[in-house]
């Protein structure tokens, strides 16, 4: 028998199409490379570093970011793995995070079976073309001159991604890296500092925070949380 399909025959196909459309509409999509970067000033300029970000004991807000290759990082999806998350932030022109990279990699190796590690690539602290978000003027550290590290502040998300790839590959980062959004969502919410560290337990609560990465103290806290 041939002819036009009846409505009831088409019903299952309509349901499938609606399901696919709904699923796709709720799936996060990588940020457009052309999205402009918002340049902001840190609230820590006056030296109030310890007051920045989320204190221990509070529930961390969910956040969705993407790797340089477009892989999705959603905080609460990652926590479903049942391990604490250790999140560093860093960037190419940050001489502090660059100096700390070997120590960060050491911590990652030591606690690889007890926690999951991510680095969020954030706004450049010492761009060559504009004032620093941590100062009221252009600020090029001596270490950047010595190490021949120079970069302009990315103007688009695509430029930030490219710099994140360069930083990851040049310094052999030992963890997964995700890139902060064009409006600096992670940096604005979790703390406007160049090299902060968070330990978030599987329930989503901030277990521990460092305004500046300190290896021995973080090691002690990770030993503590691993025995709970």
- Return the pLDDT at 47: 86
Spatial contact of 40 and 168, defined as CB atoms under 8 Å apart = no
* Domains in the chain: ranges and CATH: 7-226 (3.40.30.10)
- Return the pLDDT at 27: 62
- The pLDDT confidence band at residue 86, using thresholds 50, 70 and 90, is very high
Look at residue 17 and tell me whether its pLDDT is greater than 70: no
- Return the pLDDT at 4: 53
Can you tell me the mean pLDDT for 94-102?
96
Residues 6+ apart with CB under 8 A from 98: 90, 92, 143, 147, 149, 171
- Return the pLDDT at 194: 96
Write out pLDDT tens, residues 148-198: 999 999 999 999 999 999 999 999 998 899 999 999 999 999 999 999 999
The pairing of beta strand 85-90 with beta strand 116-121? parallel
- Nearest CA among 217, 178, 202 for reference residue 31: 178
What's the mean per-residue pLDDT of the chain?
90
At how many degrees (to 10) do helices 95-110 and 215-226 cross?
A: 30
- The pLDDT confidence band at residue 225, using thresholds 50, 70 and 90, is confident
| C-alpha pair distances (Å), 75 with each of 72, 85, 184, 211 | 10, 9, 16, 20
Look at residue 80 and tell me whether its pLDDT is greater than 70: yes
- Return the pLDDT at 154: 98
For the entire predicted model, the pTM comes to: 0.87
């Amino acid at each position: 028998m041939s002819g036009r399909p009846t409505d009831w025959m088409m019903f299952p196909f309509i349901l499938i199409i609606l399901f696919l459309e709904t699923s796709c509409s709720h799936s996060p999509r990588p940020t457009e490379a052309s999205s402009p970067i918002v340049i902001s000033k840190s609230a820590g300029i006056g030296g109030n570093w310890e007051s920045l970000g989320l204190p221990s004991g509070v529930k961390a807000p969910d956040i969705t970011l993407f790797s340089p290759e477009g892989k999705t990082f959603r905080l609460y999806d990652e926590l479903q793995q049942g391990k604490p998350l250790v999140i560093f932030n860093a960037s190419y022109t940050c001489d502090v995070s660059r100096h700390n990279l070997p120590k960060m990699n050491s911590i990652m190796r030591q606690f690889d079976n007890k926690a999951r590690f991510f680095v969020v690539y954030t706004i450049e602290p010492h761009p060559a073309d504009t004032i620093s978000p941590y100062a009221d003027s252009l600020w090029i550290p001596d270490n950047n001159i010595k190490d021949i590290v120079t970069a302009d502040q990315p103007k688009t998300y695509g430029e930030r991604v490219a710099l994140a790839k360069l930083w990851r590959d040049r310094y052999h980062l030992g963890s997964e890296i995700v890139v902060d959004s064009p409006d600096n969502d992670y940096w604005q919410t979790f703390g406007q500092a160049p090299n902060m560290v968070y330990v978030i337990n599987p329930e989503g609560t901030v277990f521990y925070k460092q305004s500046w990465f300190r290896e021995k103290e973080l090691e002690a806290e990770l030993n503590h949380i691993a025995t709970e």
